[in-house]
Amino acid sequence: MAKPDLYREWNVHKMERLLESCANAGVTRFIFSSTCAVYGDPQGKLLTEDTPFRPLTPYGETKRDAEALLQKFTARGISSVALRYFNASGAEPRLRVGELHDPESHLIPNVIRAALAGKSVSIFGDDYPTRDGTCIRDYIHVTDLARAHWLAFEKLQKAQAPFFNAVNLGSGTGYSVREIIASIEKVFGGKIQTVISPRRPGDPAQMVAGTERAREWLGFVPQFGLDRIIGDAWAWDHQRLQPKRAVFLDRDGTLNVDPGYLSDAESLELIPGVLDALQKLKAAGYLFYVISNQSGINRGKITLTQIRRIHGRMDALFAREGVRIEEYALCFHHPDEKCDCRKPNPKMILDLAGTYGLSLKDSAMVGDKVTDVEAGLKAGCGHVALLLSGNEADQQLKNLGERPGIPVFKDLNEWATAQVRFESKA
């Protein structure tokens, strides 16, 4: 394993400093992402939380040591749950998040990407003492994993005294490498070529979770099986590889009337024509993302709860017309903080494009301030537009100056109409 010292620095030394800070600040509940790698090679046996630790890698060793720190800090009043992940896999059902490691080392995404690219898949060893000679692993859907965290949070909320507990998060069923490939072939609709390669050092033949404690103590039973895991993973990769285009939208002055630090959801007022505009753009194949500077959080003008309520109301208004905002990307920093996410910096746009596989050259950034336009240009958006629907229209026109090639429109609906008409003629 590369850089074992880095694992120890982050997983142990910094973990201890974090726990010390928590104890000093009165933070008394902690959920820890641990791993089945703490067990090492179980020699084919089912892994329970009481299985002795025999980690084979620095990663597993440092997670073991981090759990020991959690146990130690119960004396300082901290209750904690260590969730020992088995093979987290699949994708969030709405395909907003999926596996995208660089380099990718997980079996399911590697097999899917090989299938989509027409390449072969390496099987590292076919002489293990398993039913078909290949390694067996226990896979858990990432959505089930998230739900288990919520259940752990609820357990911690009810704690009467400091405690530590560890829980395996798996399905209790193991699948071999060949079985995973066969399952993906069903979705792919064709044969996936394989190449037998030498075993990888330290690969146990079988890792399957005992799930009794998860079921009895945590109240956790996985809802999604292997078919759903592979189906969601396939859909994630397939849509990620398809060019998609988006309209990145400023919020205040673009979608809604800007009263200055909007804080009351009931006061939200959409700018006339916004719903018509979004329907036209949706019909043209655009996805929608809101990109908004919200320094009012930092200034103490509004709260996160208020922002969530505002966006909930906005979502409800849009949903009535069959329109959906895929994500709200927000920067809470004060302008003086010189962060890299506040517009006119392009980071929020670039992050969304990377996460959702968006084609920036086919996408647009639209807003009522020149900083919106600048963010779109810096990100490489193929289309930008300045709208005069905000409170500072005259000032923004002055800020724009004589910059050539930046189109200006009365409002979002006027731009959407022009954009759709332009595309129909292209």
Q: Which residues are catalytic?
A: 59
Q: What is the DSSP letter of 118?
A: T
Burial status of residue 366 (CB atoms within 10 A of its CB: 0-12, 13-18, 19 or more): buried
Is residue 202 a contact partner of residue 56, using CB atoms and an 8 Å limit? yes
β-bridge pairing 327-331 and 364-367 = unpaired
200 CB-near residues (< 8 Å, 6+ apart):
124, 125
Joined together, the tokens standing for residue 154 give: 């609820």
Q: Which residue has the tokens 């800007």?
A: 258
Round to whole Å and give the CA distance between 412 and 418: 10
Round to whole Å and give the CA distance between 145 and 401: 52
Is residue 329 a contact partner of residue 310, using CB atoms and an 8 Å limit? no
Grouping H, G, I as helix, E, B as strand and the rest as coil, residue 240 is: helix
Could you list the beta-strand ranges (E) of 96-150. 121-124, 136-141
